[in-house]
Structure 1
Amino acid sequence: MSYPKKLSREAIVEAALAHIEAHGVDALSMRTLATDLGVTPNALYRYFPSKTDLSFALADEAGRILLSALQAAAQGLTLLDAVRATAQTYLHFARTRPALYAVKMSHCKSGGEEPPSHAQVWDFVLSFTEGLNTPWDREDLALSLWAALHGLVELDRADMLDGRDVQATLNVMLDVLLAGLPAFQPSAQQPTQARQA
Structure 2
Amino acid sequence: MLVSVTAALIALSLLTVQCVRRLYETYYLQVFAKSSKMNLSHYLAGIIHYFACIIAVVGQAPLFCGQQNRDSIKWNDLRTTILAVPCTVIFLITWYEQFRTNIIFANLRKDKKSGQVVTEEHKIPHGRMFEYVSSPHRMCEIILYTVLLMLVPTKTFFCIYLWVLGNQIQTAIQAHEWYKKSFEKYPTNRYAVFPRVL
Q: TM-score, normalised by structure 2?
A: 0.27
With normalisation by structure 1, the TM-score equals 0.27
